[in-house]
Amino acid sequence: MTTSPMPAATPERPSTGREFTTIGVVGLGTMGAGIAEVFARNGFSVVGVEVGEEALERGRQHLQHSTGRAVKRGKLSEAEQRDLVGRVTFSTSMRDLADADLVVEAVVESIEIKKSIFRELEGIVKPDTILATNTSSLSVTEISTANLHPGRVIGVHFFNPAPVQSFVEIVRTVVTEPEVLEDVKGLVARLGKNPVICGDRA
């Protein structure tokens, strides 16, 4: 039996061998729930975190309603909807993100709230976990200053509604590690989205 060789690493496309299996989403409002749906629809295990049970239930309802509309439009079968929702774990504890390979923060546009989340994540996630913010208006560089390892911080800006819109902005800072950028770009492409890489301009 012959196997196809892996494509060689190049300076533009370093090969890191990073595997993404579990995705964390912090904040399950309209955007966060949509981002969770996109990843779950593509076979990833998702851990969605909210600050309290009430907000968590709203996030669960966002996901149910969105996937329910997809079933009515014939985009998903009922079995696929069950499988998709079943891949999402809902939690009020950031500690449940310990095994995530990528965490996407999608909370309100407050620099201090976002920095406090990134600061807390630093003590929870694995050393090689990528930390992403979905901000559309704040400086990713400023958010990354909350971390001891800002090179693993990147902007991943989904457009609303996330399950429908095809473009995703990937915002690199001056210290974002090249392999982090390439891994996230590849991951976004796996979601069936079109990644657009841009610099950090608030």
- The alpha carbons of the chain give a radius of gyration, in whole angstroms, of 17
Q: Are 154 and 200 in contact (CB under 8 A)?
A: no
Q: H helices of the chain, where?
A: 30-41, 53-72, 78-86, 111-122, 140-144, 178-190
Is there a catalytic annotation at residue 157? yes
Q: Retrieve residue 178's tokens.
A: 């090249």
Q: Are 97 and 24 in contact (CB under 8 A)?
A: yes
Which letter, b or e, does each residue of 68-82 get, where b requires 16 or more Cβ atoms within 10 Å of its Cβ? eebeeeeebeeeebe
Of 62, 65, 149, 157, the active-site residue reads 157
CA distances from 42 to 23, 72, 85, 193 (A): 11, 19, 12, 11
**Catalytic positions:** 157
